[in-house]
Amino acid sequence: MDTTELIRRAEAAMDGKHPQHGFSINDGDQAAVPYLLMGLVKEQRATNWHLEGIANSLSRIAKALEQKPEPAPTPEPKRRPWLPSRRSA
């Protein structure tokens, strides 16, 4: 049962109807509590799963940055020897 279904059943119970069968009940608030708690648990579980995935990604990025080799020094540009220009006179 997904979270939206749990919330729908809790709302039905708070309106005074049985969450699953629809007949009238006297204490809808008390009947709604288990559905609301189950909905909260499912949402919290999904949030934890999502945050765990983010933490794992950040951990992999940090490890990759720590293991990055230092770049080799750039070689000095080659110098051209000075040559007198050849001019024909």
What predicted TM-score, i.e. pTM, was given to this entire model?
A: 0.55
Residues 6+ apart with CB under 8 A from 15: 28
CB 35 within 8 A of CB 13: yes
Hey, what are 67's tokens? 């293991």
Q: What is the DSSP letter of 75?
A: P
Per-residue pLDDT of the chain (89 residues; tens, 9 = 90+): 777 888 888 888 877 777 777 777 777 778 888 888 888 889 999 999 999 999 999 999 999 888 877 778 888 877 777 766 666 65
pLDDT at site 48: 95
